Each structure stands twice: as C-alpha cells, then as structure tokens.
Structure 1
Amino acid sequence: MVILEAKGIKKYFGGVVALSNGNLKCRKGRITGLLGANGSGKSTLSKIIAGVYRADAGEIIYEGKAVHYRNPHEARQNGIALVFQNLSLVPDLTVWQNIVLGMEKNRGLFLENEEARALSRAILENLMPDLDIEKKVYQLSPSEMQVVEIAKAISSNPRLLILDEPTAALEQHEVKNLFEYMRKLANEGVAMIFTSHRLWEVMEICDDVTIFRNGEDVATIDFDKEEKDPDKIIGYITGETKKASVKVDHGTLNGQVLLGAKIRPKSKNSVLKDIDLELRKGEILGIGGLAGQGQNELMYALAGSYPFVRCEVRLEGRNFLLNKPGDAIQNGIVLVPGDRQREGLFLEHSVYENTVFPKFGLPDHPLFIPEKEYRTECEQIVDILSIKTPGLDAPVNTLSGGNQQKVVVGKWLSFDIKVLLLADPAKGVDVGAKRDLYEYIVKLAKDKGVGVILYASDNEELVEHCDRVLIMYEGEIVASLAGEEISDDAITAVSMRVKR
C-alpha cells in the first residue's frame, strides 16, 4: 500500500534549481533507497516531505491526502520523522532530553521525565545499549550523536521514517544494529526512505530504490523484480558507465622513504601512544581499525595540531618538530580534515575565498593580495577537480557535499605538497565525487611522487586505494598489511583483535 507519493516536485534556491521534477513513492512496510549524487535533489526532497522546506510546485500525497507541512514538528505530529544528515541535537541537553525533545508528555504542570527516560532506554537497547542516557550530547562521540539523532526520530512512533545518511558516522556493528531495528520497524508496517552513498548498505537493507540525477528521478528499481546490480545503479547516478572505483595496483614499493615520524605522548590526555611510521614517495598509506582508536589524532599530530604529543619528523632528509600547523604547512605537509563543515571550510564565504585563504598565513605572503593571479589559480583548481559551482564567488555552502570536499582538497593544490593527510575524505560524498577525488589523489601520488596518508572509516576505500594499511588499536599501530594481504576480511579481523 502506497503511504506517500511525491509528484512533480520543484524547488529553487535563488537561481539554483534543486528539484526540477521529483517523483517518489513509498509503501508501508518497505524500505526505499533514495540515491543520487550530492546535489541531485534527494536531500531537498526529503526535507520537503518532512516540512523543512516548502515545494515551489508539485504535491505531496500522504495517506491519501495532499499535505503541506509548515515545519518538521508538524510533520512529526502527523507521523513523518526525519533523521537529519546535519544533526539537530541540542549539545547542552542530555541524551534522553534530546530523544524526546518536542514530543514531551506532561502530567499537569510537570513533565513525565521517568517515562521519557524509559522510552529512551528502550530505543537505545536496540541501537547502542551501553550509551548513558544522562550524558550531555556535547560529551558524545560522533557515532553516539548519530545514534541519538536516529533515536530521536524513532521516539515519535513514525509511520514514515526518513533516514538521510544515517550510517556515515557509524561503525559496522552499529550499522548492523540499525539495520536490524529498521527491519523490525518495517515488519510493523513502518515505511522508510533510506539515503546512503555506501552501495553495499543499499543492497543489504533496501527493498527498492529510486535514483535522482540533476533534480529529477531517472530510475526506480524494485529488488523483488530486478537483480541488485551496483554497476547499473552507479550508471544511473552518474549518467555514465564508468565504474566508481579506482583500483590500486598492489605492486612492490620501491620508492625512497619520504617521511619518517616518531610520535611520543607528553601528556596523560594523549590518546596516542608511541608510534613510529615511514611513508615512501608516491605511496598511499592507509590507516585502518575500528573507529575511535586514535586515527584522527594521528592525522592531527602529523599536521602539527595535536598538542598532547611530541612529533619529530624527518622529511626528505631534514629533521624538525611539528609544534603547530604552520610547521607542517610550510614544510609541505597538509591536512584534509574529516569534518569539512567545522574544520575545512568557511561555509558562508566564497569558493575563491576558501581556496586562497591558506596562503595568507605564509610568512612570505605579499602585503597586497595579487587578486588577478589568485583568481586564475582558483579557476584552474575548479577545472582540475571538476568542481561544480555557479562561479568563483558562489558561497561554498551552496555547493553539494562532494563539491565542498573538492574545495577542501583544492585549497592546497597551489602549495608544494609533499605529504597529503586525508582524514576520511569521502565521508558523505556521493559515488561520482568519490571517484573524482580518488582519481586525483592516485594521480597526485603516482605521477608527482606525493606521499599520501589516508584514514578511511570504510574499509573498501583502503582496499581499493592503498599500497599498505596500518591498523590502529587503542592509540598505537598493531599491524601492517601490504599488497595482496590487504582485504576487507583481513582489516576487520586485525581491527577486532583482543589487546595483548
């Protein structure tokens, strides 16, 4: 039975067309994958259904009636809940307070706090049973915050649950818990819309998929009637037959050692323990392991941005300490952080301003900005990385996630990069943009001899692109995989080892 149908939805933001002709059907008890490249319109459609935006044309038919919800609260009251990609949590409230926020029950003048706590525990028992509901949200890890966002949506007993990139911050066992709970909800008749850039997740959990490209739906595939063909789906998403992966040739590494690093903790606050690593010229060195084992801290240490360790580096025969980010940047070590919105970009500033900003911190930067030269450089970067933007002066927050990530990479391209640090660079990036990013990264390593250190939460990215993979556990490197040893099974097996 169809519970919701979106017909001919159009949405414009200024002169930008977000949706030109969006159509979607959702059925009770079924999980519908909503797929497409970043900027294809899928998140916009989800937000229109959930009352965040109002459509400029078209109609939403929900439970047999045309609806126009004015805000997400009104949609939740009518049985539609959205798990936001950008979290909607209140940092200073507790876990349980966030879960029931906006849906609290009263007993006279007083809130039913114990009932709310019991509801929160019941939901989290299925998703993350060890999570302390009395913790404030700002004390949580990214994966814990994501689970709270999901629990918040579930707490309203929705009849239609929209999950927009809910797994991006989750570990694999947490994804498994979520999928089990989604199947439980589907068996109870709940309809779901599920968006993910990880195709294996779509294949595993979805009953059917609708694919968007350039603001309109281009295909619907019912997995009860058609086979699950990832290449076919990628073809619809990108409009090309080219595959999304850039498979590395696991050959013998003969390049000279480019970088040697010795990291030693100097504070009890350090997540990292003693770490020694080497990176060869032109090598893509992967950093794997379960989330939260010190991978991000390692990247920050190598970028001169982790104050709890002493990081001594030997780069191209020169020894120096990384005490601050400027030390790393001036020596050709640059970081693409995992959270582009908080750490990589000035969202309300233009593509041009974000691209040239790192130059201003250089000690030899001229007093007057060479505007013409910088704009020419920016145009070249936009062209090299195929950044889709209305122009150099477009605010970066108007770009899709994948194009924002290309700007984060692009701002370093005018530097003499020797070591490129990538902290989960493809997180929340669609398959087409992911392919473009990795094609360029591989080219940078193999053609120009740049050393790349890549942390990815998705093992598939490590398997596809890395010459070696170092596995981290509790702040130290516990294993090294090379060549044909690198596989998803091997990374998972070593990552889940028992500490000696």
Structure 2
Amino acid sequence: MILEVKGIRKCFGGVVALSDGNLVCRRGKITGLLGANGSGKSTISKIITGVYDADCGEINYNGKCVKYKNPNEARQAGIAMVFQNLSLIPDLTVWQNIVLGAEQKKGIGLDNKCAREISEEIISKLHPGLDINKKVNQLNPGEMQIVEIAKAISAEPKLLILDEPTAALEQAQVKNLFHYMRELANHGVSMIFTSHRMWEVMEICDDVIIFRNGENVASIDFHKEGKDAERIIGYITGDSKKTECEIENRQIAGETVLSIKGMNYGKHLRDISFELRKGEVLGIGGLAGQGQNELLLALAGAYPEMKCEAELKGRKIKLTKPVNAVRNSILLVPGDRQLEGLFLKDSVYKNTIFPKLALKRQPIFTPSKKYRKECEQIVKALSVKTHNIDTPVGTLSGGNQQKVVVGKWLTFDINVLLLADPAKGVDIGAKRDLYQYIVDMVKEKNTSVILYASDSEELIQYCDRVLIMYEGQLVETLEGCDINEDAIVSASMRVNRTTEVN
C-alpha cells in the first residue's frame, strides 16, 4: 500500500465538501475514484497534493504521515496530479510547459536538449506526431490536455493522480493514455483515476472507490468481485433509477427550421451546407478539432467575418453577431462553461437573467420579482443543487454549473438549441438529468437541436441524424441504423465511406 487516507473532513464556509473521506491506493495499481460532481473527489485529491488543508484526518504516504503545504512539495515527494483546470502557459511551447518548474541545469543555464528529449519521449507515446515546438495557444483542447498529462508524468511520480484527464480527448488518444498508464503501473507507479465514462473505468482500473455526499460509500476490487457497471452507478447516484434516458431513432420529415448554405470561416469551416428540421436532434461528429466547435460558434454569431446564406423558417437572417442569434432564438450552450458560459463570481440568478439583456425591447426597470421567480422555476426543473439563487455560480459543482448554462435559455421560445459537448466533465446523474430534460423538450415542444459530443455514445443514443466533420467540411451523413460506433469511427477517419451529406 502506497497511500492511505483516513477520516478527512473539509468545509468551505458553511458547505461540507468532505465529511469522512477515506481512500486506499496500492502500489502499482490503478484505483478509480468515482462519484457525482460535488461528491468530494477533487477535494480529497487536492488535499493529498497540498492544494487544500484538511480540517481533520490524516494522510499516510509511503509509510509516513504527511501534510504537504503546496503541490510543489508533494511533487518533490513523488506525488503528481493532472488537474481538471489546465495549468499551462499559452505562450510557451509544448516542451517548455512539460518541464516547467522542474528544468535541469547545464552549467549556468538550462539543459534544453535534455528537456526536449524527455518531452519527445512522453509525447511520442501519448500523441505521436504532436510537435513539441508548437506553442500551447496553437493547440486544440485535446492536445492541451495531453500536454497537461505529460507535464505530470515528466516528474516521474510514484503516485499519479489523474482528475478527469480524458474529458477533452478523443478515443484514440484515450487508448494511447491507457496503454502508457498500464506501462507505468507495470513499473510500480500507483495511480488514482477519475472519469465519468464508465467504459474507461471498466477498461483501465484495478479497483474503484466511490464517493457520495462527501464520504466514500463503497470500495470494489475488480479482481475479487468482478466488474458490474450497474452496481457502481447505483452507489454513485444513490438510487436505482435507469442511468440513461432513451430517444427512439425517428425519421424526421417536418418543415425545415434552419437552412445553411456555403458557410466559410478561414481554415476552420469550408463550404458548410445543411438543413435542420423541426423537432430534430442533429448530431455533429468526427475526430476532435475538425471544426465542430467553430461550426456551433459560427451559428451563434461569434464570427463577424464568417460568410454564409442562412434562413430561419424561410426568412433570411444574418449570423454575424451573437445578439442576432439570440434575437432569432438560436441559443448556444458552449463547450467551456467556465470561460464561455458563466460569470463565475456572479449568482445563479444573475447568470440566468443575463441573456435577456440582448432582447430588443427592454423594460425601463428590471422586473426582478418576475425574473427571480423564473430563475427558481429553472433551478427546480433542472434539479440544480444550490443553497439559493443568490449563491455564486462558481461555488457549484461542475454538473450544476452546466445545468445553469442550459437553464438560462429555458425562458426563451427556442428555435434552435446549440449544444457544444454539454455533458463533458459532468457526472452520470447530472448527465442523465440534462439529457432527459432536452429529450423531453424535443418531444413536448418540437424543439430543434444541434448536438456536438466528443463521446460518440451520446450521438448514437440521442441523434436522429449525425453529420461527420473532417478538416472543416461536412463529409458524411449517418441516419437510422448507420448511427453506430463503427460507422462513426470509419466516417471520422475517412475509411472507405462515400455517403454524401444532405
């Protein structure tokens, strides 16, 4: 046993993040740390690495009781962590970020040759072909995540904590990471791995520890007890509700709500044309970084220089400003909720009413009573866990923050809802709630949805059609029984597929 954590308690103000946190990690094993957003997983990981101080409890590492003052002290002792929020410097290169803070000296200067060699060795296993001389600000989100992982691995830790490392990765990158993780484990490195994707946990972990409401509620050794996904999910959610909602594959033959012709934006979007029908969930698939996010941002009016012909319900519209999209009820749930979707220091209430400021007709005085009532209804409808609507949204768990990002549009009469990877980094229960609400909205209100998801399972389960993007173009349409894992992967990699987009 390399790590044993006992009776950890941590409060932030009046909020109990951990009430009785216990955790064990064995040498050379990969332990899954699971639980809903806000269950205490990230908090206990940050206490182990010295980001936070525990209010009480103890940490035994390598046979000694330890308490680190900061992550650097933990790193020097052999504990490294891959954080959910990236700690990279955008203007530095890949290799400079990987060795940052742990540079080796050569004479009076730094040994840059050695640093490049170390970086190249790690990157070649995680992401073959990634140029280590590229600046981080030139990378896509998945590549940035790879660099963050490489940075932790470069410290040659005895204990590696990975907190949601795969959220921004495509499946091939996840496979490379898992292969490297198993190689590290075979050399005696212990790992704590957090993910909301059950197949990842089943594939890579030797055992799992499950947290709920600030304490661990179960420990399962896969080698002794086997792998039972439903059992694990039951512990995570605390109930036996089905974890996925269902939507049947339907043939959508209704009126065209949105028509896009000849959309072009630099190298990101090239001659994009498609139609969205009323009551349709239209998926956008493909390998990460092929223009999916840019497509949704363009539809939301983020690029003034973007060129296209757009019609909404037969009426020509311009998508050159976000305000135009909002006034036409083309509404975006962005992929990065913290950077693009929320004002973290402001309350749930202020975040919810902010979009209304884009409406053409504004009352002289803000109808606070009306807006507060609407906000409370949204919080109730989406089961947002918050003390009250005046709570700063930045203090909520990731899943509840994402519900607020979706919820701020629910008082609008939605023509098109744009979802950019809405369940990324969201726990199983919150994902179920989000998608169930969206599915119900599609059925009851005939809402039209465009969904980009990095997890192809979400596309398979919820979409009526899937458009595959490759190098900024729409290259294939999948419908009905063709919406499956093999077809999506083949189309994404351009493997012997010829179906045209329509």
1:223 alignment partner in structure 2: 222
Deviations 1:316-342 (A, max 9, x none): 232222121111111111000101110
Quick check: 2:326–2:358 contact (8 Å CA) kept in 1?
Answer: no
Which of 308, 314, 326 is the equivalent residue of 1:311? 308
Tell me by how many angstroms 1:260 deviates: 1.6
What are the within-5 Å matches in structure 2 for residues 178-193 of structure 1? 178-193=177-192
In the alignment, structure 1 residue 469 sits paired with structure 2 residue 461: no
In the alignment, structure 1 residue 433 sits paired with structure 2 residue 430: yes
Taking structure 1 as the reference length, the TM-score comes to 0.97
Quick check: 2:249–2:464 contact (8 Å CA) kept in 1?
Answer: yes
Quick check: 2:327–2:358 contact (8 Å CA) kept in 1?
Answer: no
1:364 alignment partner in structure 2: 361
Bigger mean CA deviation after superposition, 437-446 or 302-311: 302-311
Tell me by how many angstroms 1:308 deviates: 4.1
Bigger mean CA deviation after superposition, 408-417 or 94-103: 94-103
1:95 alignment partner in structure 2: 94
Quick check: 2:245–2:436 contact (8 Å CA) kept in 1?
Answer: yes
Tell me by how many angstroms 1:89 deviates: 1.1
1:154 alignment partner in structure 2: 153
Which of 267, 273, 283 is the equivalent residue of 1:286? 283
Quick check: 1:163–1:193 contact (8 Å CA) kept in 2?
Answer: yes
- Return the alpha-carbon distance in structure 2 between the equivalents of residues 467 and 425 of structure 1: 17
RMSD between aligned residues: 1.3
Deviations 1:234-264 (A, max 9, x none): 1111011112211211132233222222233
1:411 alignment partner in structure 2: 408
1:485 alignment partner in structure 2: 482
- Return the alpha-carbon distance in structure 1 between the equivalents of residues 128 and 304 of structure 2: 33
What are the within-5 Å matches in structure 2 for residues 380-419 of structure 1? 380-419=377-416
Tell me by how many angstroms 1:498 deviates: 5.1
- Return the alpha-carbon distance in structure 2 between the equivalents of residues 258 and 99 of structure 1: 47
User: 1:237 is aligned with what amino acid?
Assistant: I
2:164 alignment partner in structure 1: 165
In the alignment, structure 1 residue 495 sits paired with structure 2 residue 476: no
Quick check: 1:264–1:310 contact (8 Å CA) kept in 2?
Answer: yes
Give 5+ residue unaligned stretches, structure 1: none
Quick check: 2:284–2:468 contact (8 Å CA) kept in 1?
Answer: yes
Deviations 1:36-56 (A, max 9, x none): 000000010111111111111
Deviations 1:365-419 (A, max 9, x none): 1121111111111101100111001111111110000000000001111111111
Percent identity between the two aligned chains: 67
Tell me by how many angstroms 1:422 deviates: 0.3
1:12 alignment partner in structure 2: 11
Deviations 1:273-299 (A, max 9, x none): 112211121111111111111111111
- Return the alpha-carbon distance in structure 1 between the equivalents of residues 163 and 13 of structure 2: 24
Which SS does the other structure have where 1:228 is aligned? coil
In the alignment, structure 1 residue 121 sits paired with structure 2 residue 120: yes
Which SS does the other structure have where 1:69 is aligned? coil
2:103 alignment partner in structure 1: 104
What are the within-5 Å matches in structure 2 for residues 182-261 of structure 1? 182-261=181-260
1:133 alignment partner in structure 2: 132
User: 2:29 is aligned with what amino acid?
Assistant: R
2:144 alignment partner in structure 1: 145
What are the within-5 Å matches in structure 2 for residues 29-40 of structure 1? 29-40=28-39
- Return the alpha-carbon distance in structure 1 between the equivalents of residues 338 and 107 of structure 2: 42
- Return the alpha-carbon distance in structure 1 between the equivalents of residues 120 and 472 of structure 2: 31
User: 2:488 is aligned with what amino acid?
Assistant: I
What are the within-5 Å matches in structure 2 for residues 443-458 of structure 1? 443-458=440-455
2:350 alignment partner in structure 1: 353
Tell me by how many angstroms 1:303 deviates: 1.2
- Return the alpha-carbon distance in structure 1 between the equivalents of residues 175 and 197 of structure 2: 14
1:325 alignment partner in structure 2: 322
Which SS does the other structure have where 2:39 is aligned? coil
Deviations 1:453-492 (A, max 9, x none): 1000100000111111111111121111112221111111
Quick check: 1:210–1:217 contact (8 Å CA) kept in 2?
Answer: yes
- Return the alpha-carbon distance in structure 2 between the equivalents of residues 223 and 370 of structure 1: 56
User: 1:8 is aligned with what amino acid?
Assistant: G
Quick check: 2:306–2:320 contact (8 Å CA) kept in 1?
Answer: no
Tell me by how many angstroms 1:68 deviates: 0.4
- Return the alpha-carbon distance in structure 2 between the equivalents of residues 195 and 26 of structure 1: 13
- Return the alpha-carbon distance in structure 2 between the equivalents of residues 134 and 316 of structure 1: 48
- Return the alpha-carbon distance in structure 1 between the equivalents of residues 404 and 412 of structure 2: 14
User: 1:297 is aligned with what amino acid?
Assistant: E
1:45 alignment partner in structure 2: 44
Quick check: 2:165–2:195 contact (8 Å CA) kept in 1?
Answer: yes
Which SS does the other structure have where 2:2 is aligned? strand
Tell me by how many angstroms 1:92 deviates: 2.0
2:68 alignment partner in structure 1: 69
Which SS does the other structure have where 1:225 is aligned? helix
- Return the alpha-carbon distance in structure 1 between the equivalents of residues 237 and 357 of structure 2: 37
Instruction: List, as ranges, runs of 4+ consecutive aligned residues in structure 1 with deviation greater than 3 Å.
Output: none
